[in-house]
Structure 1
Amino acid sequence: MSEEFRYLHPNFIIEPLVDGFYAWHHTVAPVQASLNLAKLQVPMLESYLQNPQVHVAASSNPALRGGFFVNIPEDRAGEVKDLLSRIKTERASMLRFASAIAEAEEILRQGATGFGLDALYPKLPTELSGLVELAYDTSNQPTLRFIEPAAYMSPAYLEDRQSVQLSLETGVERPFILSTPRLPSETVLDLPIPFRHEGLSELFRARIHGTTLGALREAFELDDAGAARLDSMLIDAPDLAPDRHIDSGARIRYFGHACLVMQTPEAALVTDPFINGDSTATDRYTYRDLPDYIDVVMITHGHQDHIVLETLLQLRGRVGTVVVPRSSRGNLCDPSLALYLERVGLPVTEVDDFAEVEFPGGKVTATPFLGEHADLDIRAKSTYCVRIGGKTLFVGADSSGIDPGLYRYMREHVGEVDIAFLGMECAGAPLTWLYQALLTRPVTKKMSDSRTLSGSNAAQAAAIMEELGAHEACIYAMGEESWLGHVMATSYNEDSYQLQQIDEFLSWCGDRGIPAEHLYGQREWRW
């Protein structure tokens, strides 16, 4: 039986984990991962163990959705205690690294007074030796620049933190990814392997081409129980949508949130892939509907809902390149997306503003991305203009129209836009919700609340449309789809400011005869 070809169940999912926590950019990149472990995850586990009932109750309170509460039943608190103990013992080098960063920042604040910095290097903690450069900016403000490729070679990057849980999508919302670690379960297969493990490529090829249970068992070194559990996630024939490819013209399919699949008979492109695994659902596209080969994947920025590792890992072996915006090289709040994805085994093309990437029958132009990052100096963010099937599409993601003049330059470069895809999460979370662990100097709540992860409001979206000369507008769902709750943890009602702004923008479009809609779930365009 182990030599018969088997295929992945259409509801197959993978959760990539680091020390049990769901993996995303800031918990894998070594410098940022050390800080998140020391300043967020360890204190959160300690808080849970002091009073598990408070965390569980808060996790079920809709008003506190998206808060940093560990949603694990009290009767499993012993397992959480063991996890915390392992982290403190086995990740001591990462915790020391986080402390060293704080110490170095203080040395810099006290010692960098506008004069030469050479005398400060011997004072730096040994954990940072060879990994940082001290510098001033042109305002004479001191800064600590991390040599990020070297950090991936240091004790701050430990691949044995990495593991994956394999299971089948049940349709039940998973716990919020930023707060709740995953514990072992009878319904999942835990594999203590790094994300770059070649066995994962073999596994994901089985969605289309098939493999044998024997090959997978050998690749993952499974015992009988593990092989049996994996076997329950395999089927005897591929389950793929017959219309996942097209023979003529061009097509766009909206897969939910900010994920678009653009196709011609010659090429396929995907933006910010975030694919649902419930093939029984009739209101969305799933992995069954993806084309077999994807020429270009475009990542707009590094937030956890736009660079979704559980989806990207499943695309290994069927992607030509993943296009990512170039980071600022060493800025603490701006880790490299390219290094991150290369380390997990994906082919990467890094682009600057207005760089072009060609594909059969068209090209992608990387265009600037304003705002949405709480006014932090983050460069690894890009919008894209895609020329495909004779049309120009603007992929705006969560970018802001705070300075409409920028879009005038885009129009001069790429011409008028046929369809603009925009995000309008215009009342986003405060600075500290996502970046608290990376702040080396405290900010007040008032400061944090004034600096939000916000995209365009109605007026800004209208300005983008005017400057681009866009003929049609689509606003993507902002975490409204129910199946994204474990990542988005958003809650809207008819009085939500964001939805009111979308309605105002749609009215603005309607008054000018511009087709516009608020997307949700799935949608298809053909021409």
Structure 2
Amino acid sequence: MENEPRFLRPNVIIEPLVDRFYVSLNTLAPVQASMNLAYLQVPMLEAYLQAPKVHINSSRDPEMRGGFFVNIDEERSGEVRDLLASIKRDRGAMLRFAEAVSDAEEMVRQQATGFDLTPLYPKLPADLSGLVEVAYDTNNQAQLRYLEPVVYSSELYDEDRQSVQLSIETGIERPFIMSTPRLPGPDVLDLHLPFRHPGLEELFGARLAPTTLGRLRDALELDDEQSAFLAGLLCDAPDLAPSRHVDDGARIRYFGHASLVMQTPEAAVVTDPWVSADSTAAGRYTYRDLPDHIDLVLLTHGHQDHVVPETLMQLRGRVGTVVVPRSSRGNLSDPSLALYLTRLGLPVVEVDDYAQVDFPGGSVIATPFLGEHADLDIRAKSTYCVRLGGRTVFVGADSSGIDPALYRNIRAHVGPIDVAFLGMECAGAPLTWVYQALLTRPMTKKMSDSRTMSGSNAEQAGAIVTELGADEAYVYAMGEEDWLVGHVMATSYNEDSFQLKQVAEFMNWCADNGVKADHLYGQHEIRW
């Protein structure tokens, strides 16, 4: 049986982990990962061990959804204790580095007073030696710049942290990814492999092309028990939707949240891919609906609901290029998406504003992205204008219309926009929800709450559409599809939610101004 042709079941999922926490940009990029490990994950595990019942009850309280509580049953607290001990034992370099970052940032604040910075270098903590530069901006404010490619080559980037869990999609919401580590269990296949491991590409290539259990056993370096589990993840025939390709014209399919699949007979372009694996569910597109080859994947920014590693890793081998915005190179809050995704084994190209990337029969122009990042100096964010099938589509993600003149400038450069996709999650989480561990100076709750990760409200969305000259507008990226976002965004809406009221107001504005519009949910198709 090991040599019979086999395919991967359509409802297999993968969770990529670092030290058993679900991976994200800020938990893999070594500078930011060190800070999150030291100032978020380790204290959270310690707090759980002091009061497991508090964490468990809080995790399951709808009012506390998205809080930093470990949702692991108390009878498994010994495993959590072992995990914490292994982190403290094996990640000492990362923990020391995080402490050194905090010390160095404070030293620079106190001692970089506008004069020559050379005397500060000998005072830097030894753990930062050769990994940072101290520099002033033109306002005479000093800051540390982290030499990120160098840090990736140091002991701080350790592939021994990495593993993956394979399982079958159950349709039951998974624990919140930012707080609950994934422990081993009888329902998951635990593989201690680096994310770039070629065996993972072989595995997910079996959605399209046959492989054998024997070949996968060798490619993934499995023992007998693991091989037996993997056999249950395979099936006799591929499950692929006949409609996954386009014979003529062009179309856009909405896969949920910020995921758009744009297709012509010549090419396919996907934005912020995040795909459901529940192939038995109605009202959504799943992996079976993806085209066999994807020319470009466009990633708008590094938040965990737009760069989704469990989907991206399953697309290895069928993606030509992943397009990402260029980071600021060394800013603590702005790690490189390109360096991160390369470590996931993906082919990546970085773009600046107004850079153009061509694909068969069309092109993509990267355009500026305002707001949504709590006013932090983050450059790795981009909207995109996609030209295909004779139309131009604006992919706005969570960009905000706080300065409508920007979109007037985009239109002047790109030309009129036919279709605009806009994110209107306009009452987003506060700064500290994602960035707390990176803040080396205390911040008041009032200050953090004033700086949210929010997209456009109704007025701002209307201004964007007006300035772009769009004839059609679609609201997306709202975090409404619970089968995708519950364990990642922890969003909860009801009829009184401010965001939904703003969407309704925008829909009325579109009707009054002759703009075809819709509020997307689940699945939707636009054809021309």
- Structure-2 separation of matches of 1:51 and 1:136: 45
Q: Which residue of 2 aligns with 1:366?
A: 366
1:477–1:518 CA contact under 8 A, matched in 2: no
1:492-507 paired onto structure 2 within 5 Å: 492-507=493-508
Query: Cα distance, 1:314 vs. partner?
Result: 0.3
| One-letter code aligned to 1:179 | S
CA contact (8 A) 2:474 2:518 kept: yes
- Corresponding residue SS for 1:243: helix
Pairs within 5 Å for 1:274-423:
274-423=274-423
- For 2:34, the aligned partner's letter is S
Q: State the alpha-carbon separation in 2 of the partners of residues 480 and 355 from structure 1.
A: 32
CA displacement at 1:3 relative to structure 2: 0.9
> Counterpart of 1:488 in 2: which secondary structure?
coil
SS in 1 for 2:349: strand
Deviation at 1:220, TM superposition (A): 1.8
1:470 and 1:59 map into 2 onto residues whose CA distance is: 43
Please tell me whether residue 146 in structure 1 is matched to residue 161 in structure 2. Answer: no
- Give the counterpart letter for 1:271 in structure 2: T
Residue matched to 2:59: 59
Question: What amino acid sits opposite 2:177 in the alignment?
Answer: I
- CA shift at 1:221, angstroms? 1.7
- Letter of the 1:61 counterpart: D
- Provide, for residues 421-472 of structure 1, a one-character-per-residue CA deviation record: whole Å limited to 9, x for no partner: 0000110000001100000101100100000001100000000000000101
Q: Secondary structure at the match of 1:487?
A: coil
Q: Secondary structure at the residue paired with 1:524? A: strand
How far apart, CA to CA, are the structure 2 residues paired with 1:525 and 1:511? Answer: 22
In structure 2, distance between residues paired with 1:283 and 1:7: 25
Check the 8 A contact 1:477/1:520 in 2, yes or no: no
Say if 2:401 and 2:456, in contact at 8 Å, map to a contact too.
Answer: yes
**How many Å apart are 1:113 and its aligned residue?**
1.0
Q: Is the 8 A contact 1:260 1:273 kept in 2?
A: yes
Task: Give the Å deviation of 1:110.
Answer: 2.0
User: For the residues of structure 2 that align with 1:461 and 1:275, how far apart are their CA atoms?
Assistant: 26
State the distance in 2 between where 1:433 and 1:265 align: 42
Structure 1 distance, partners of 2:246, 2:399, is 31
Corresponding residue of 1:91 = 91
Distance, in Å, in 1 between the alignment partners of 2:244 and 2:378 is 36
Code of the residue aligned with 1:217 in structure 2: it is: R
1:44: how far off? Answer: 0.4
* Unaligned stretches of 5+ residues in structure 1: none
Following the alignment from structure 2 to structure 1, what is the Cα–Cα distance between the partners of residues 457 and 246?
Answer: 36
Tell me the distance in 1 between the aligned counterparts of 2:115 and 2:309.
44
Give the count of matched residue pairs: 527
Separation in structure 2 between the aligned mates of residue 503 and residue 497 of structure 1, nearest angstrom: 10
Mapped contact 1:267–1:294 kept (Cα < 8 A): yes
Pairing 1:483-494 to 2, within 5 Å after superposition: 483-484=483-484, 485-494=486-495
Shift of 1:486: 0.8
Q: Which whole-Å CA distance do the structure 1 matches of 2:12 and 2:440 have between them?
A: 40
Instruction: Give the distance between the partners of 1:454 and 1:14, measured in 2 at CA.
Output: 29
Q: Distance in 1 between matches of 2:300 and 2:431?
A: 19
**Correspondence 1:39-188 to 2 at 5 A:** 39-188=39-188
TM-score (norm: length of structure 2): 0.99
Once residues 199 and 126 of structure 2 are traced to their aligned partners in structure 1, the CA distance between those partners, rounded to angstroms, is 37
Task: Output the CA distance in 1 between the equivalents of 2:525 and 2:246.
Answer: 13
Query: 8 Å contact 2:398–2:477 — kept in the other structure?
Result: no
Which runs of 4 or more aligned residues in structure 1 lie more than 2 Å from their structure 2 counterparts after TM superposition? Answer: none
CA displacement, residues 27-86 of structure 1 (integer Å, 9 cap, x when unaligned) = 000000000000000000000000000111011111110110101011111110000000
- Aligned 8 A contact 2:430 2:451 in 1: yes
Q: Distance in 1 between matches of 2:123 and 2:103?
A: 10
| Aligned-partner SS, 1:428 | coil
Q: Deviations over 1:303-342 (max 9, x none)?
A: 0000000000000010000000000000000000001111
Q: Which amino acid in the other structure matches residue 39 of structure 2? A: K
Match of 1:512 in 2: 513
Distance 2:29 2:394 in 1: 29
**Hey, what does 1:6 align to over in structure 2?**
6
Q: Provide the residue aligned with 1:245 in structure 2.
A: 245
- Cα deviation code 1:335-373 (max 9, x no counterpart): 000011111110011000000000000000000000000
Cα contact 2:397–2:477 (8 A) shared by 1: no
The amino acid of 1:98's aligned partner reads A
The CA deviation string for residues 473-524 of structure 1, in whole angstroms up to 9 with x for no partner, is 1001511112021111100111110000000100011111211111000001
Match of 1:449 in 2: 449
Letter in 1 for 2:392: T
Q: Is the 8 A contact 1:250 1:262 kept in 2?
A: yes
Structure 1 CA distance, aligned partners of 2:233 and 2:165? Answer: 12
**Separation in structure 2 between the aligned mates of residue 217 and residue 281 of structure 1, nearest angstrom:** 30
Deviations along 1:365-388, one digit per CA (max 9) or x if unpaired, are: 000000000000000000000001
Q: Which amino acid aligns with 1:481?
A: E
Aligned position for 1:525 = 526
- Structure 2 CA distance, aligned partners of 1:267 and 1:140? 49
TM-score (norm 1): 0.99
Counterpart Cα distance in 2 of 1:12 and 1:302? 25
AA aligned to 1:509 is: C
Contact 1:69 1:180 in 2 (8 A): yes
CA apart distance, 1:106:
1.7
- Cα offsets for 1:93-112 (capped at 9, x unmatched): 11011011011112212221
CA distance in 1, matches of 2:10, 2:436: 38
Question: Quick one: which amino acid aligns to residue 514 of structure 1?
Answer: V
* Structure 2 gap ranges (5+): none
* 8 Å CA contact 1:5, 1:212 repeated in 2: yes
CA distance in 2, matches of 1:395, 1:286: 21
Q: Does 1:209 align with 2:209?
A: yes
Partner residue, 2:481: 481
Larger displacement relative to structure 2 (510-519 or 361-370): 510-519
Determine the C-alpha separation between the residues in 2 that align with 1:282 and 1:246.
21
Counterpart CA distance in 2 for 1:262 and 1:247 is 13
CA–CA separation in structure 2 for the residues paired with 1:460 and 1:100: 42
Q: Which amino acid aligns with 2:500?
A: L
What's 2:35 paired with? 35
- SS of the aligned residue for 1:463 comes to helix
Alpha-carbon distance between aligned partners in 1 of 2:220 and 2:258, rounded to the nearest angstrom: 33
Q: Which amino acid aligns with 1:110?
A: Q
Please give the alpha-carbon distance, in whole angstroms, between the structure 2 residues aligned to 1:234 and 1:488: 30
- Tell me the distance in 2 between the aligned counterparts of 1:379 and 1:523: 31
Whether the aligned pair in 1 keeps the contact of 2:297 and 2:319 (CA below 8 Å) is yes
Q: Contact conserved, 1:426 with 1:455, CA < 8 A, in 2?
A: yes
Amino acid paired to 1:146? Y
